[in-house]
Amino acid sequence: MDLYAENILDHFRSPRGKEPLEKPSVEHHEINASCGDELTLQLRIEGKKITALSWSGTGCAISQAAMSMLSEELIGMPLEKADHLEPEHVKQLLGVPVGTRRTKCALLCLHTLKNAIRKHVGKEMLSWTQMLEPR
């Protein structure tokens, strides 16, 4: 097994960022309708930065590991930077080729994050198509 696949399995088996979060500023839930993977993300936002987070979810190793990996980067990140993260960033975190059939699995974390931020600031939710479009 290669190093990247082992890293994905490590994050799937021992996910980071799943500790309970008291008093989140926003909570958002997304479902990947094509496979049934689900994520719920809670963010605590102070000023314009993410100061704490928690997530829960069910699904394949790719979707759950991607959220775990992304959660390690988000604490202290300005909302604007988090909202501008691109799909390629998550794919790089995973470190393995993500085929067309698994793209939504890999990017469920990003879709959930962006819509949590949008909910917090009062903007309209992004569809999958909008989220996948380059800015």
**Under a CB-based contact definition with an 8 Å cutoff, are residues 61 and 42 in contact?**
no
pLDDT in tens, 76-107: 999 999 999 999 999 999 998 888 889 999 99
Residue type present at position 67: M
| Cα 94 from chain centroid (whole Å) | 12
Please check whether the domain covering 3-121 is classified as CATH 3.30.565.10.
Answer: no
Tokens found for residue 55: 């997530």
Would you list the domain boundaries of the chain?
3-121
- State pTM to two decimals: 0.93
